[in-house]
Amino acid sequence: MGVIMHYPTTPEKQEELSKKVAAVHAQAVMERIKSMPCPVVQKTELVKAIKRMHQQRDGT
């Protein structure tokens, strides 16, 4: 099966696509965490740890 991809050609559209991809990825991560068989406290700590990692990586 062949797939044809049409990528954004302007920086604005590339940024918009990047944000949409990030939002979908974040939603997938959250759904995966919600489905984990562990207490809510552990899930909360995991989300906080992920947030800290991204903040350190991004320097914010």
Sequence-ordered alpha helix ranges (H) in the chain: 11-34, 40-58
Q: List the structure tokens of 19.
A: 């944000």
- Pairwise CA distance, residues 11 & 17, whole Å: 10
Q: Give the amino acid at 51.
A: K
On average, the pLDDT of the chain sits at 94
- Per-residue model confidence as pLDDT tens digits over 5-57: 889 999 999 999 999 999 999 999 999 999 999 999 999 999 999 999 989 99
Sorted by where each begins, the domain ranges of the chain are: 31-60
Confidence of residue 59 (pLDDT cuts 50, 70, 90): confident
Can you give the pTM of this predicted structure? 0.72
